[in-house]
């Protein structure tokens, strides 16, 4: 019986994984430039971690978590996002003691949400992102938003739209929630079941509802901007001004609330306007400021700001920008054994050239010239090296350039030098 992949999961095969590798490399180099250090936290955490951070009013906690009891009867959850684990780790390891603030961490890894699979939405997906903790300055928000923007431009993405909003400080949010509750209570009878629950737990979440008739009701709801304190408004404006001075355009979106309960203050999302015929995969990344999360998880009272991108969505929108150049290159040399004795010779030649940093492939079978050529072409090799009885007798190797078709014989004693020269000239010809 054939066993299929679990619904909502996907295998990342060779050409695709190359793209993940490239995006991750660009991200890592960029994160290092800003002083972020890598953190790797477990995929499984105690369930209460997410109840307390992502929040009981959120769709993630209500409907999307992979939660199970382990054999010891503990409730365990596969992480649906990364921030909570990173902050838990900082707390567990007291990573803030004797450290210069702010702390800067970057991460990358799989997350799990039981969502309805569709374009850009999986049940196992990958996030990469950063957390900055221990600065109260608006410049911390600016740094993180800028880093995200730079990643997108380093990937080569155009049409980037950054949406920004402020969820306000405690006081602003408390007043706003009261106003929302009053407004939605009048309409709740005609709203979806989820909104009934949201109204009780966190009416802000209703602003995120995707049910078309509820969206109509949301349109006339009280506006967040009318409830923001002067300090919150001032901070949002300062962030927008600083980004503008760096040449980064942002667009205020009053309905942007984000799906996680821990955000306070400035929140933001990155979108790419889809081209004709392409799916709109929604936000490719997002993040925001969280004033109290670390403290609520038992850590010190340090404010933070974080950002995370979904790698699947990044790669989907980057297809054109990244092109084919990120596909795997073929080997520099394919070593063909034309007789039994050549197999062991080729083993040592291959090892020898790999030590010189060359990419060598061979298969451990005796082949005819024709069949070896076919294999080398299939692998997209630059050169094929033939070793048969004559070559062994004369201590030489026959090498053919598979692009120019030029064939030559080199002495085994010159293999290292000649092989490097051939590759060097191959690239020179390619660039001419
Ligand atoms: P969030 O943690 O909800 O703020 O999500 C951050 C980013 O993760 C989003 O902008 C998406 O790019 C990505 N993401 C979230 N959920 C999924 C999913 N189910 N499948 C693929 N990517 C996702």
pLDDT in tens, 146-155: 999 999 999 9
User: How many other C-beta atoms lie within 10 A of the C-beta of residue 281?
Assistant: 19
Q: Do 228 and 166 form a contact (C-beta atoms < 8 A)?
A: yes
pLDDT in the model for residue 340: 97
Q: Is the CB of 121 under 6 A from ligand 1?
A: yes
Separation of CA 420 and ligand 1 centre (Å)? 45
Maximal C-alpha separation, the chain: 94
Separation of CA 309 and ligand 1 centre (Å)? 7
Q: Is the CB of 53 under 6 A from ligand 1?
A: no
* Atom 18 (ligand 1) nearest CA: 121
pLDDT in the model for residue 326: 57
pLDDT in tens, 233-275: 999 999 999 999 999 999 999 889 887 888 999 999 999 988 8
pLDDT in the model for residue 286: 97
In whole angstroms, give the CA distance from residue 135 to residue 392: 69
* Atom 10 (ligand 1) nearest CA: 285
* Atom 9 (ligand 1) nearest CA: 285
pLDDT in the model for residue 327: 60
At residue 393, the 3 state secondary structure works out as: helix
Write out residues in the chain with pLDDT < 70, as ranges.
Answer: 323-327
Cis peptide, bond prior to residue 234, ω within 30 of zero? no
pLDDT in the model for residue 254: 87
Please tell me whether the overall predicted TM-score, pTM, comes out greater than 0.85 for this model.
yes
Q: Do 149 and 35 form a contact (C-beta atoms < 8 A)?
A: no
pLDDT in the model for residue 372: 97
pLDDT in the model for residue 53: 93
């Amino acid at each position: 019986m054939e066993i299929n992949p679990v619904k909502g999961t996907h295998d990342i095969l060779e050409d695709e994984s190359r793209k993940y590798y490239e995006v991750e490399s660009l991200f890592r180099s960029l994160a290092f430039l800003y002083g972020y250090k890598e953190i790797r936290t477990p995929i499984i955490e105690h369930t209460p971690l997410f109840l307390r951070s992502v929040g009981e009013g959120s769709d993630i906690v209500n409907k999307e978590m992979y939660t199970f009891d382990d054999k010891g009867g503990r409730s365990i959850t596969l992480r649906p996002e990364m921030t909570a684990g990173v902050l838990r780790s900082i707390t567990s390891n007291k990573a803030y003691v004797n450290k210069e603030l702010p702390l800067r961490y970057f991460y990358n890894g799989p997350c799990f949400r039981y969502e309805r699979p569709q374009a850009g939405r999986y049940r196992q997906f990958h996030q990469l992102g950063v957390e900055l903790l221990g600065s109260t300055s608006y410049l911390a928000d600016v740094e993180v938003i800028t880093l995200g923007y730079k990643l997108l431009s380093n990937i080569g993405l155009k049409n980037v739209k950054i949406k920004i909003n402020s969820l306000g400080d405690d006081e602003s949010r408390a007043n706003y929630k009261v106003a929302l509750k009053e407004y939605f209570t009048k309409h709740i009878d005609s709203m979806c079941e989820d909104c009934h629950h949201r109204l009780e737990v966190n009416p802000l979440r209703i602003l995120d509802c995707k049910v078309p008739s509820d969206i109509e009701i949301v349109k006339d709801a009280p506006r967040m901007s009318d409830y923001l304190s002067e300090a919150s408004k001032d901070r949002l404006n300062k962030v927008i001004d600083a980004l503008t001075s760096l040449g980064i355009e942002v667009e205020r979106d009053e309905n942007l609330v984000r799906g996680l309960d821990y955000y306070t203050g400035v929140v933001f999302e990155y979108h790419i306007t889809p081209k004709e015929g392409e799916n709109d995969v929604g936000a490719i990344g997002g993040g925001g400021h969280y004033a109290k999360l670390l403290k609520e998880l038992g850590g010190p009272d340090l404010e933070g700001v974080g950002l995370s991108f979904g790698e699947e969505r990044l790669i989907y929108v980057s297809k054109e920008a990244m092109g084919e150049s990120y596909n795997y290159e073929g080997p520099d040399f394919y070593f063909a054994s034309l007789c039994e004795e050549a197999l062991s010779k080729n083993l040592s030649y291959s090892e020898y050239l790999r030590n010189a940093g060359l990419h060598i492939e061979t298969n451990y079978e005796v082949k005819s010239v024709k069949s070896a050529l076919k294999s080398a072409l299939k692998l997209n090799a630059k050169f094929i090296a033939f070793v048969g009885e004559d070559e062994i007798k004369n201590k030489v190797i026959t090498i053919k350039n598979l692009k120019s078709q030029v064939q030559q014989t080199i002495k085994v004693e010159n293999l290292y030098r000649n092989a490097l020269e051939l590759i060097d000239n191959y690239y020179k010809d390619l660039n001419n």
